[in-house]
Chain A
């Protein structure tokens, strides 16, 4: 089984006609769900996540020669997916609201009113994409800092700093709107 996996990865990296396409298709079917789930966590829009999954695999397809099998496919794909999602967030207008219909885990706290939630969600959408992505993955999605750092290609310390700056900006934004978080 392990040999099959490494054979597919080798065929993908070598890019020889005849075996490359089949290896790529195998990798696509093996990893598309994980890549889609990761992107959805960042962009929070199912339609955009589908398009970005295809964009991510297109970038993977073109960059096959740069793949290092020793470092694993999943982490590499996740990093490319994160950058594709970041590009999408950068192109998004700040006033675009997060779609409410993503499959999510309910964490309702009756002490926090719907209005506070709404305003926080809007303020969150106005954060710079680099800070927003770090806060989404580390705070909302509770992904390990190590994984977030690997996906963004930065250090764990830099992720912590971005999360701190995101929370501070969020607080300032809410205070400007007349809220005391």
Chain B
């Protein structure tokens, strides 16, 4: 694709997809929704969130090490 083709494609794209108005603004005040989200999930707690899969993986690892204590050096080696 040469420079002429590139300019042609740019023009075509500008015709197909309109530019957003510079004065576009949200249809509602977003602060109440923001406030609601902050109250629902405090940031400090969100940092320490673990999914059920994390817990299941940890439980599986503990059980495995419990049954086979000799595997501990092998696990540590691969960490």
Contacts and interface: CB of A to CB of B under 8 A. Distances in A.
B16 to A, nearest CB: 4
Interface size class of B (residues with CB under 8 A): 20 to 34
Contacts of A78: none
Nearest to A121: B16
A50 B28 contact: yes
Interface string B48-60: 0000000000000
Nearest to B41: A58
B18 interface: yes
Nearest to A179: B12
B31 A37 contact: no
Contacts of B16: 112, 116-118, 120-121, 124
Contacts of B18: 102, 104-107, 140
A36 B25 contact: yes
Nearest to A142: B19
Interface stretch (A67-75, A148-156, A167-175): A167-175
B20 A41 contact: yes
Contacts of A121: 16-17
A1 B27 CA distance: 29
B6 to A, nearest CB: 6
A176 B23 CA distance: 37
Interface of A: 25, 28-29, 32-33, 36-37, 40-41, 44, 46, 49-50, 53-54, 57-58, 61-62, 98, 102-109, 112, 116-118, 120-121, 124, 135-136, 139-142, 164, 167-168, 170-171, 181
Interface of B: 1, 5-6, 8-28, 30-31, 33-34, 37-38, 43, 46-47
5 contacts: A40-B24, A58-B37, A62-B46, A103-B21, A107-B14
